[in-house]
Structure 1
Amino acid sequence: MNRGVSRKSLLSLVIVAILSGCNRSGPTLPESTVKVPERYTAQQSVEGPTTFQPQQQLVSEEPIPQQWWQLFQSQALTGLLQQGLENSPTLEVAEARLRAVEALYRGEQDDLQLPSADLLMSGSRAQSSGATVGQIGSGSVLSMQSATLQLGYRVDLFGANKQKLRGSHAQVLQQQYQLEHARVTLAANIVNSAIQIASLEAQMSALAKIIKDEGAHLSVTEQRYQIGVIPKSDLLGQRASLAQTRTRMPTLKRAHALAQHQLALLLGTTIAEVKLPALSFDQIQLPQRLPLTLPSELTRQRADVLAAEAALQQAAAAVGIATANRYPTLDLSARFGTEANQLSDLLSGGSTVWGLGAGLLHPLFHGDTLEAKERAAVATYQQQSARYRQQVLRAFREVADALRSLQLDSEQLALTEEADRLASETLRLVEQQHRQGAVSYLMLLNAQRQLQQARIQSIQSHAALYSDTVSLLVALGGGWWNPIKEQ
């Protein structure tokens, strides 16, 4: 009686310990939220269209096309984008990484949701000693053949398998969003490189014209010096001015060559193999209507924000796994097969063997290991939560930067174009007055330099406005979620 009571008491203690462990609840994870502002900047509102000068208007109800670069209406630019998106090693890496996590996720689905099955076949032959059965002699030779089907299944009592699948699915989503973000980023880099090349070519063309004009003025100055109309200091000043202007050309050529090298890399080739089309602002039109997403929609359109959200979901799943590992696990097993002394007897009815089993494993004491892993998972979740909020804030900042840059650079372009027009008119008048002897050579030299500076600044402001347009389209997500329109 006492032995039976002690067994019952021990069993009761085990059950109480298991149930007490099951009553432990996991940690409560705070939801990662960011307050969405009503507008992107302090001055901007999307309730109606906002117009930038020159020739650009923000329209809130227009969607961002997936191939947003077609807004620039440039066949050369579209061709570059097609080549880059097809050949970029960066995209190949992202696509291969996505295929890898998708394959692992599909395999994990089968492994965690379906029972395992294994076929075990074995054969043995051994000689036993007669002493093992109390006989004198060499014993007998025994043969044993077996074929067994083994089945196993772990019951997901506390959601560990569910959390593993949740984490794996979140990893697939993260890679999908990172691939889309890589595509948008690559497209932006290609367009910006093309804009930079067009800007540098325009600057070199303008500088070449200025060098030609200054060379012509130098010829006239030399003639006037030879007949004694002007002092030698004016001649030397004109020569110095031309030499100084010429020093700007190698710098522009170097920047132009490096920009071409960068574009070749983005296209997935080398500068020795690539055939770049002629790029100029005459072939790349500045979009007149720019789509503008509402602030409430931005976080669902930015692939990098969605990737950060997927990483947060992975961290939450890891917390669930760490919590479930503190609870019991239940494993079910079954086996069915045959055993016989001869291989030909394996299929006979009398050789059948089978078995059923169940095992419950409950962690009772592992020091602080399981709790420490859970705390570490919670800390990782908090880290990912902060990264997600930071990514959201960065997204709103990038849109605000692009909008403010569009506004200020459009104003700057209008001012530089006006300055270029006035400098050209001023130089024309000063040249006329200088030929008549009404103004000094220093005034003519100053007018030439003002025109050079105004023209270069106008080209640079033009390029900045193009880049600002790209920045806005990319900051708003790049339209990757919208279907491609049929041509």
Structure 2
Amino acid sequence: MSLHRPAMLHSQSTTFQTNAPAGQSFTASSYLRRALDASPEIQQARQAFESSRHQWLSSVYSAALPTLSFTGTSYPYGHNPLNSYRFSSLRLNRSDMGFTTTASWNIFNSFQDYLTARSARLAKDSSQFSLQAVLQNRALEALGAFYDLSLKENLLSVTRQNLTAQKEQYDLSLDLYRNGLKSLADLLKSETDWRSAQLRMASAQADYKNSLVRFNLLLDRPLLQPAALETELAPGTTALPSIDADLDRALVLRPEVRKAQADLERGETVLKQSIRGNLLPSLTLTATWNREDPATYNQPGFALSAPNPNRQLFLGLSLPIDFNFFSQTHDVLASRADLRKTSAALSQAAREASRELHEAFIGLEQAIEEYHVSTLKETIAHRALRLVNEQYRQGSADAIRLAQAQLDYLEARVQKSRALRDIFMLRLEYKVATGEPLWQ
């Protein structure tokens, strides 16, 4: 038993009492911006979008613009097939070189270029919605880390206050015991409660450090580097949103749903491409301009038999059906199966959007009620603790009643802090569920 060494016990308890760490100051908005800038996942999604955007532009330019090519040929050494196989020994003269310039413009090819560009645009849109979904998820993760650290800092302060109160209670019990006003059982109970408060303090410190690690990890800072948070948490309005109207918004604005819709449209386009390329005849209209400057090999009177330059329109009709008809048919069937898969993915995305919206609504409703009740409970528990503490000093209450009153007050404060944090986070989750961007 530790009746004769209270000073030593007090010095041991102070090892758990650390002040709230100070460091670089963050607001929720400043932390969010830095976390999004430092996210590797966002960088990957952004580069994927840039890649798909450039592929789309490439397909548009390829379909809309003519092609221009320049070709130069020469045989500087050996038997030249263009000069009756005469042997040339390291000779590179202008008369030994031939040049060809060709301009070609695909005017029409049965809408294949149009479908290719449309498919690329829908792939770009899908990649853009994927980027928005990643931004939304990482923004929610960052704000969750911010408010979780704020909560753990608050709980650390509450636990520290409880530890101080338990130490003061133990000192009071020791004094009353020495004056014969309290029993040994009361003193032992007080010391047990003090030790329990020390354990809670150690747990609260560990929880705070774990939250700090998560907080710093999203910024690529040293994981245990202190941070000061500027938060002004208030429950705000207790009015609940209109879930029916928000569900209609979610099915239009959620990036996951919009991505699934773009994938479905792209699947329809790919199916049309497959049908046109494998089963339907293809009509092609191409304009060509060509100029040749052949090698003369110093032969006088050399001339081309064809007009130079020459130009023409080419009209072609091709039928894709051949001995490989079965392979072509299965290509079309594969595209049709992919379309059905994207249609099912759209239905699943709509289901997930509805589920997440309702879960966030129910959670928000619960958090608002818990905050209201825990606020009342904190007020009642505080009054009860003051009464029991006074009764304990007067000898009409024992240590068990006092310990229970202290635990009730501690529990009420913790519940209120958690409920307040939950209100903030569930409102953010509800915004995510409706498709309202958090990163802007």
Fold shared, TM-score > 0.5 on shorter chain:
yes
What is the aligned partner in structure 2 of residue 197 from structure 1? 149
**Gaps (5+ residues) in structure 1?**
1-73, 134-138
Counterpart position of 1:51: none
The corresponding residue for 1:341 is 296
Letter in 2 for 1:405: G
Q: Indicate the residue corresponding to 2:100 in structure 1.
A: 148
Seen in structure 2, the aligned counterparts of structure 1 residues 345 and 110 have a Cα distance that, compared at 3 Å, is: farther
What are the residue-to-residue correspondences of 1:157-168 with 2, within 5 Å?
Answer: 157-168=109-120
C-alpha contact (below 8 Å) 1:261/1:270 kept by paired residues: no
Change (3 A) 1:448 1:276: closer
Aligned pairs (5 A) from 1:117-266: 117-124=68-75, 127=79, 145-152=97-104, 156-266=108-218
Aligned mates of 2:156, 2:213 — CA distance in 1:
18
**Deviation, structure 1 residue 218:** 0.5
CA deviation vs aligned residue, 1:160-210 (integer Å, no higher than 9, x gap): 322211110011111222222222322222222111111111111111111
Deviations 1:333-387 (A, max 9, x none): 7443132423798997878475756554322231421111111111111111111
Contact 1:170 1:310 in 2 (8 A): yes
**Alpha-carbon contact 2:67-2:105 (below 8 Å) kept:** yes
Q: Whole-Å Cα distance in 1 between the matches of residues 387 and 329 of structure 2? A: 85
1:64 is matched with none
Map residues 10-409 of structure 1 onto 2, 5 A cutoff: 76-124=27-75, 127=79, 145-152=97-104, 156-267=108-219, 269-271=220-222, 276-280=227-231, 283-288=232-237, 294-326=246-278, 327-330=280-283, 332=286, 334=288, 335-342=290-297, 352=308, 354=310, 359-365=316-322, 366-409=324-367
8 Å contact from structure 1 (residues 329, 361) kept in 2? yes
- Residues 466 and 141 of structure 1, relative CA distance in 2, 3 Å threshold: closer
Other structure's SS at 1:228 match: coil
Q: Per chain length, whose mean CA-contact separation is higher, i.e. which structure has more relative contact order (CA < 8 Å, sep 6+)?
A: 1
Letter paired with 2:408: Q
What are the superposed Cα offsets for residues 275-294 of structure 1, whole Å, 9 maximum, x if unpaired?
A: 733244xx234443887654
Percent of residue pairs bearing the same amino acid type = 17
Please identify which structure carries the higher helix content: 2
The corresponding residue for 1:440 is 398
**AA paired with 2:273?**
I
CA distance 1:219–1:329, shift in 2 (3 Å) = same
1:301 Cα shift?
A: 1.7
Q: Does structure 1 retain, via aligned residues, the 8 Å contact 2:247–2:434?
A: no
* Aligned CA distance change for structure 1 residues 350 and 250 (closer, same or farther; 3 Å): same
SS in 2 for 1:391: helix
Cα distance change of structure 1 residues 128 and 423 upon mapping to structure 2, 3 Å threshold: closer
- What is the DSSP-based 3-state SS (H/G/I as helix, E as strand, rest coil) of the residue aligned with 2:190? helix
Task: Note the alpha carbon deviations across 1:306-326, whole angstroms, 9 max, x for none.
Answer: 122112222222111111111
Q: Normalising to structure 1: TM-score of the pair?
A: 0.73
Q: 1:88 and 1:428 mapped to 2: Cα distance?
A: 49
CA distance in 1, matches of 2:360, 2:117: 39
Checking the alignment, whether the CA contact within 8 Å between 2:212 and 2:224 is kept in structure 1 is no
What SS does the aligned partner of 1:325 have?
helix
- Partner Cα distance (1:182, 1:454) in 2: 37
Q: Distance in 1 between matches of 2:390 and 2:421?
A: 33
> Which structure 2 residue ranges, 5 or more long, are not aligned?
1-24, 89-94
- Give the number of equivalent residue pairs: 398
Report the Cα distance in structure 2 between the residues aligned to 1:462 and 1:343, rounded to whole angstroms. 93
In 1: Cα distance, 2:86 partner to 2:319 partner = 46
Partner residue in 2 for 1:36? none
CA–CA separation in structure 1 for the residues paired with 2:235 and 2:50: 38
| Separation of aligned partners in 1, 2:108 and 2:193 | 83
Taking the aligned partners of 1:232 and 1:250, their CA distance within structure 2 comes to 27
CA distance in 2, matches of 1:220, 1:347: 120
Q: In structure 2, what is the equivalent of residue 69 of structure 1?
A: none
Q: CA deviation at 1:274?
A: 6.7
Amino acid at match of 1:284: L
CA deviation after TM superposition for structure 1 residue 82, in Å: 2.9
Deviations 1:71-107 (A, max 9, x none): xxx9822222232344433332222222211111111
Query: Given that residues 301 and 479 in structure 1 are in contact (C-alpha distance below 8 angstroms), is that contact kept between their aligned partners in structure 2?
Result: no
Distance 1:240 1:140, change over 3 A: closer
CA contact (8 A) 1:156 1:162 kept: no
Partner of 2:373: 415
Q: Distance in 2 between matches of 1:214 and 1:320?
A: 76
Work out whether residues 145 and 340 of structure 1, in 8 Å CA contact, stay in contact via their aligned partners in 2: yes
CA distance in 2, matches of 1:333, 1:313: 32
Pair 328,398 (structure 1): closer, same or farther in 2 beyond 3 Å: same
State the alpha-carbon separation in 2 of the partners of residues 170 and 347 from structure 1: 54
Scaled by the length of structure 2, what TM-score is found? 0.80
Report how far residue 476 of structure 1 moved.
1.6
| Counterpart code for 2:319 | H
